[in-house]
Every structure is written in structure tokens, then in C-alpha cells.
Amino acid sequence: MIHKTKRILQKIGISFIRMVHLHDAPKRREPDFNSEGARIFRNLLRRDDSTLLLSPIAGKRYIKSDKLDIFIKLYDKKISIINHQFKYDIDLTHTTTYRLENMFDLQVEKRRNQMEEEIISNVKSSLSHIYGDLLKM
């Protein structure tokens, strides 16, 4: 008899908790602008035709795409996505900001390495040209 009473009270308690939690559930899911903004930033960052600019003193990072006509600014845990028709200012979490800044810095470093290798290869060919001219004399 004690067992049956405990089971009935347990079922009533579970039913009550389920009813309370149904009212607490969100009716509509809000759009996640944080992840959408980060996705746009990453996509534009990977494009070779985008221009990257870093302001070390201000701590701001800029991406500009003339082809897509989009300008993005990453600063102070915020991202601004600007077009001639719209401007969105999106607040980012600390983790998302850190990841985007790290991705941006790595992409800038990658492009710097490519540019440096290109310059060095041009120097080597110029030196061999100078050496060839010396042999002709």
C-alpha cells in the first residue's frame, strides 16, 4: 500500500513538473544573428578577392569585398556588416570574437607569407639576371 501511494504521488509530481515546463518553453526561436554574422565573416575572409586590413592600435579588423560590395568591421566584441543598402551591428560572444580574430590574424599571416615568397622569388630572378649581365662583360 505504501508503495502504491508513493508511485501515485510520484506520477502526480512528474505531471505537474511537465505542465510547468511547457509554459516556460519559448514560443518562437529567435534568429541567431551571432552565428550568421560569424558565418558571413568567415566566408568573406576565405575569399582571395577580399581586402584585409588590420589596425593594431585600435584593435579593429576590416574586410572589404569590391566584387560583393560588402564591408565588415570586427571590433569590441561586435561585428558590423555594411552594404549600400543595409548596416547590421551584431554583438558577439567573447568566444566567437576570439575565434574570428584568430582566423583573421592567421589569414593575414598566410597572405603575408605568400607575398614575401613572391618578392623573394623576384629577387632571385633579378640577381641571376645581374649575374648574367656580369658574365657578358
Residue 14 lies in a domain: no
Please state the domain count of the chain: 1
Residue 27 lies in a domain: no
Confidence of residue 22 (pLDDT cuts 50, 70, 90): low
- Do residues 92 and 42 lie in contact, with contact meaning Cβ atoms separated by under 8 Å? no
Residue 19 lies in a domain: no
Tell me the pTM.
0.67
Residue 17 lies in a domain: no
Residue 16 lies in a domain: no
pLDDT at 107 over 60: yes
> What pLDDT was estimated at residue 2?
86
Residue 25 lies in a domain: no
Q: Which domain holds residue 127?
A: 33-136
The pLDDT tens digits for 85-99 are: 999 999 998 889 999
Residue 105 lies in a domain: yes
Confidence of residue 13 (pLDDT cuts 50, 70, 90): confident
The pLDDT tens digits for 24-83 are: 555 555 557 788 889 999 999 999 999 999 998 999 999 999 999 999 999 999 999 999
Residue 7 lies in a domain: no
